[in-house]
Amino acid sequence: MNDLERIASLEKQLSDLGYRSYQIDEIYREAVGTSIIAGLSHEQYQSITEAMQEYIAFASKCLSRTP
């Protein structure tokens, strides 16, 4: 799976967890300073991937605690 495919997969997971596109764009901006992901370096893709995984873990943890 290449970088863009991985990000698309994580983006779908975030979307399924209730995140909106503007929130996902903000995750990108926080991680690398832009919401445009085309043409980023491998390190920038890694930063985005790590940030997205953290948000997925957080949302999953919150959902598992819902009564």
Comparing 63 with 25, which gets the higher pLDDT?
25
- Tens digits of per-residue pLDDT, 24-48? 999 999 999 999 998 999 999 999 9
Domain spans of the chain? 3-64
Q: Name the pLDDT band for 8 (thresholds 50, 70, 90).
A: very high
d(CA 45, CA 61): 24
Average pLDDT value over all residues in the chain: 94
Q: Which pLDDT value is given to residue 67?
A: 62
Q: What is the pLDDT of residue 65?
A: 78
CA–CA separation, 67 vs 42, rounded Å?
40
Decide if pLDDT at 9 tops 80. yes
| Sign of the CA dihedral with 52 first, then 53, 58, and 62 last | positive
